[in-house]
Structure 1
Amino acid sequence: MKNAETYILKVTLFGALSSLGSALMAELLKRQHEVIVIVDDLNQLAPRPGLHCKHGGLKDADQAEQGAAGSSAVICLLPALAPDDPREQLHAVHALVDGMSRTTIRRLLLVGDFSVLEHPDGHSEQHRQCIGHMVDLLQRSTLQWTLINAPQAVAGLGIEHFHHTHGTLEPGLAEPLQRLARVAAGMVDTLELKLHHSEHVNFVL
């Protein structure tokens, strides 16, 4: 139960319709924070207390500004927005940084394939350049950002699975579900405790 002194977050989530996005929605709602999910179709998610859907995306700074408006922090899951397309992901980050710069919102968790920062040889030149540009954009911004390595996605997991992580699941889903739930918990801890500003984080779980 939240008390009067507990800070309630209002988090905008880009890329919510993914396994990690579902885990994050469940974790944020469990801790009684509010979640604003940016979607193409307002009917994609069933109504839940504390969950709000807003039509939009990250095509440009205007869309990013409108999506982030009214929140206290933004989480962006790049692999869910543009799988395996670093150029499209860079475009989304550019729009997000420019859009958020027009607001008073400064906290950003950015999830992507940032392992290239530690092991550049295992990635394409295009990937290295796009990630480098993302980091440069963030470093030159006034945002309080955190880069988070994306965990492996799991098909078929929705928000309802993460409300009952110890229930009956299809064979092979229990371990990845619990792993994603732990990553989501770590990310929400990062927001609540104001950790890892201007850092690259890999949740090894």
Structure 2
Amino acid sequence: MKNAETPVVKLVLYGAMSSLGSALMAEFMRRQHEVIAILDDLTALEPLPGLRTKCGDLFDAARVRQSVAGGDVVACLLDAPGLAMGLEQQENLLLEPREQVRAVEALIAGMQTAGVRRLFLVGNFEVLDQPEMEAYPDRQAAEAILDALQGSTLRWTLVNAPQSVSGLTLEHFSQPAGSLPPKLDEPVQRLARVAAGIADEQQLNLHVGEHVNFVC
């Protein structure tokens, strides 16, 4: 049962099929918020209270506008496998650096048109603090993404992608702490803390226009 005093936040999530995506879904639903997962395959997630799925295409600004419309905050996990690309069959593809830039440009355009301003963008942004990486594609893509965000009207936060473990699902993050095998419990708790940190940032309106790293 929802607490009537809890303002419901609608999170639009790109990258729901990743481990951090599962952690974010679990954390926002635990806080009695709603999650809208943008997927190519609408049957990839079982229906749950507070969870909806929508089709989308992260490379198409018009599709982004349709997907995020009505949301309060968007989280996009650029390093997640299987990001929504409007494909008939889901593929666990990872975006190359230049593809990430294109995706963010479409995301910005779609969000601005839809009037959704708050964005958490998770990716390989630690390279922004590594001058020796200046000539590498990852650093160049991160700088291009930062420039695009700074030229937008969005209220954005860049988040360094945490070390992830494949195969973790929403069910893992819904278990009581300490109930999983040790080899799973540590990454689940670590990713859960990152998800809680992002949820806290959203709730408290922290680090807008900044680049953050959650140390867990």
CA distance in 2, matches of 1:123, 1:188: 32
In the other structure, the counterpart of 1:10 is 10
Q: Is the alpha carbon distance of 1:98 and 1:28 closer, same or farther for their aligned partners in structure 2, counting shifts above 3 Å?
A: same
Task: Give the one of 89, 92, 116 matched to 2:100.
Answer: 89
In the other structure, the counterpart of 2:74 is 74
Could you list the per-position Cα deviations for residues 52-102 of structure 1 after superposition, in whole angstroms to 9, with x for gaps in the alignment?
000112021011111111101100000013636111111110110011110
SS at match of 1:74: strand
In the other structure, the counterpart of 1:25 is 25
2:43 corresponds to 1:43: yes
In the other structure, the counterpart of 2:169 is 158
Aligned residues: 205
Query: Does the CA contact (< 8 Å) of 1:58 and 1:95 recur in 2?
Result: yes
In the other structure, the counterpart of 2:148 is 137
**Runs of 5+ in structure 1 lacking a partner?**
none
Return the letter of the residue paired with 2:163.
Q
Deviates more, 1:15-24 or 1:81-90: 81-90
Query: Does the CA contact (< 8 Å) of 2:59 and 2:107 recur in 1?
Result: no
Task: Work out the percentage of aligned pairs sharing the same amino acid.
Answer: 56
Q: Is the alpha carbon distance of 1:181 and 1:165 closer, same or farther for their aligned partners in structure 2, counting shifts above 3 Å?
A: farther
In the other structure, the counterpart of 1:53 is 53
Where in structure 1 do 4 or more consecutive aligned residues deviate above 6 Å?
Answer: none
Alignment RMSD? 1.6
Q: Is the alpha carbon distance of 1:52 and 1:90 closer, same or farther for their aligned partners in structure 2, counting shifts above 3 Å?
A: same
Query: Does the CA contact (< 8 Å) of 1:165 and 1:177 recur in 2?
Result: no
Q: CA deviation at 1:165?
A: 4.2
**Runs of 5+ in structure 2 lacking a partner?**
84-92
CA distance in 2, matches of 1:156, 1:186: 22
Q: CA deviation at 1:166?
A: 2.2
Q: Is the alpha carbon distance of 1:142 and 1:87 closer, same or farther for their aligned partners in structure 2, counting shifts above 3 Å?
A: same
Return the letter of the residue paired with 1:66.
Q
What's the TM-score, normalizing by structure 1? 0.94
Deviates more, 1:159-168 or 1:179-188: 159-168
Q: CA deviation at 1:132?
A: 0.9
In the other structure, the counterpart of 1:192 is 203
